[in-house]
Chains A and B, each alone.
Chain A
Amino acid sequence: MPAERLVEGIVPAFSLAVNLSLPSSDRYSPNGIWRLGKEKAAALDAIRQFGIRSGTPAIPLRDLSGGNQQKVVLARWLQRDLSLLILDNPTRGVDSGAKEEIYRHIRGLTTMGVGIVLITDELTELIGLSNRILIMQRGLIVTEIPAPPHAKPTEHDLIPHMLPSAA
């Protein structure tokens, strides 16, 4: 999931259904002909499952709030059989209510055995969601901090590692 939703994530002028089916063309057009009915049904399903407020399959995505847009982006990848999902700042520009819902879905994914790589600048989000935290500088991993549910590091524990090290 890309960090810059408006540039890399969605096509604002297109409908919810189209944005949802974006990467899954093999599902919707197995022989070249696009199944519009199936696409609409999937859209309705996603609206229900993700609680996308005021969403209809035909609504242009720019008419939805940032949080709801992000839900669509998340939903589109969840339609596929994932073994690994990379999330780049998934809750940037999202209100707190929608944030909680997105976290819930991410956690749900982990229970299904999907590997998650979370990239984020929000430390609370990072600590709360992760099992392992990797801090990188200049493209190299400098520290690995375990963050199991019962022994979470605090932000203070992380910050020293984030400062640029000498040499």
Chain B
Amino acid sequence: MRAAALFDRGTWLPVGVFLSLIVIFSIASPAFFTWRNFAATTGEAATLLIASLGATFVILMGSIDLSVGAIVLLVGTTTVAGLKMFPSAHLGLLVLPFGALLGALLGAFNGAISVLGRVPSFVVTLGSLSVFTGTALSILAGATIMFDLPIFDTLSLRQTVPHLPNIALWAVLLWLIAIFVGARTRFGRFVMLIGGGEQVARTAGIPVDRYKIYAFTVSGMTAGLAGIFAMSRLGAVGPSLGSDLLLNTLGAIVVGGTSLAGGGGGVQRTFIGVAIITVLSNGLNLVGVGPYWQLVIKGFVVIGAVLVSQDRMRGLIIK
């Protein structure tokens, strides 16, 4: 768990898979290996990465957050509805902290119920996923709300670095911050310890319950941020926002090499997991594979990743 161990043997398999996918798709489709595709792909990947960062901490802790996609939807919806209701409010970049705060509140809700009610996180986030989605959909009333604020263009679509949309820069920045938090802060360490051995952690006096709530709050916060970014990138919020995030965030985390049992892996690996999932979707699109078959293939990839990592880590427990 020191700096040297951040990138070890377990990272090379996903990297290898990623590179192979690039090669395969470059051969299979002429449109793949182009700058334009790169810009589009990194934009997609960025939202996924941001949403997956907080969720990685929850998984590291040995829990699970199924409500990430729903939080993205609810935060996006609320923000857009708010902007429509108060058009004169030049909130501009304030939407970011707003989204983070709202997401954090939703996450704290998850954490509190899980810890205080002694309910497994799987059940809590399954329930809250429903609650958040339902709330968001009733605000939307089935419509897709569109809006236009130039600030959003700058936030996510403008390419400060050629061919790289700003949203990707934000994502990388947040990823680096998350790596630091994971490796070098008390929060990161405790989350790992709770995941690696909750009993041991409790015996040693670590405030397990408190940190569990923190982790869910962080997960909600990054989901909220992802919601804002997604909203600004698309210029609209519709009922399907974030719907694929449930599978994609968990898939990215697992494919990247973080164990579902907790205590192994980390946010640095989520990066490559996100890259693989995004390249897979993008490449399959270009090659002409239909969306339903894409789901099938993606599902197999995730299952395969769990099987492979289970060889290396014994004792898979979902809490």
Which residues of A are at the interface with B, using a C-beta cutoff of 8 A? 2, 7-11, 13-15, 17-18, 22-23, 25, 29, 32-34, 36, 40, 57-58, 76
Contact = CB atoms under 8 A, between A and B. Distances in A.
A13 B264 contact: yes
A61 B206 CA distance: 20
Contacts of A33: 184-186
Interface in B179-230: 183-190, 192-193, 196-197, 199-201, 203-206
Interface stretch (B1-9, B50-58, B100-108, B300-308): B1-9
B192 to A, nearest CB: 8
Contacts of B184: 33-34, 36
Given A14-B263, A15-B1, A22 B200 contact: yes
10 contacts: A7-B200, A8-B199, A11-B197, A15-B5, A18-B1, A18-B189, A18-B193, A22-B193, A23-B204, A34-B188
A15 B185 contact: no
Of B3, B205, B263, most buried by chain A (CB within 10 Å of CB) is: B205
Given A7-B199, A8-B199, A8-B200, A14 B1 contact: yes
B1 to A, nearest CB: 5
Interface of B: 1-5, 183-190, 192-193, 196-197, 199-201, 203-206, 263-264, 313
Given A29-B185, A34-B186, A58 B203 contact: no
A99 B87 CA distance: 74
A34 B200 contact: no
A99 B21 CA distance: 55
A32 B186 contact: yes
Given A9-B200, A23-B204, A32 B187 contact: yes
Nearest to A7: B199
A13 B263 contact: yes
B262 to A, nearest CB: 10
B208 to A, nearest CB: 12
Nearest to A24: B204
Interface of B is mostly: helix
Contacts of B4: 58
Nearest to B189: A34
A10 B189 contact: no
Contacts of A7: 199-200
B186 to A, nearest CB: 4
Contacts of A2: 203
B200 A11 contact: yes
Nearest to B180: A33
A13 to B, nearest CB: 6
3 nearest CB pairs, A to B: A23-B204, A11-B197, A29-B186
A17 B263 contact: no
Nearest to A2: B203
A35 B201 CA distance: 19
Contact of A22 (B1, B2, B186, B204): B204
A25 B2 contact: no
A40 B199 CA distance: 24
B94 to A, nearest CB: 26
A58 B183 CA distance: 14
Of B2, B193, B204, most buried by chain A (CB within 10 Å of CB) is: B204
Given A32-B185, A32-B187, A34-B189, 7 more contacts: A2-B203, A8-B199, A9-B203, A11-B196, A14-B1, A22-B201, A36-B2
A23 B196 contact: no
A57 B5 CA distance: 12
Given A2-B203, A36-B3, A25 B186 contact: yes
Contacts of B189: 18, 25, 29, 34
Given A22-B204, A25-B189, A34-B184, A58 B263 contact: no
A17 B197 contact: no
Contacts of A17: 1-2
Contacts of B205: 23
Nearest to B197: A11
B204 A14 contact: no
A70 to B, nearest CB: 14
A19 to B, nearest CB: 9
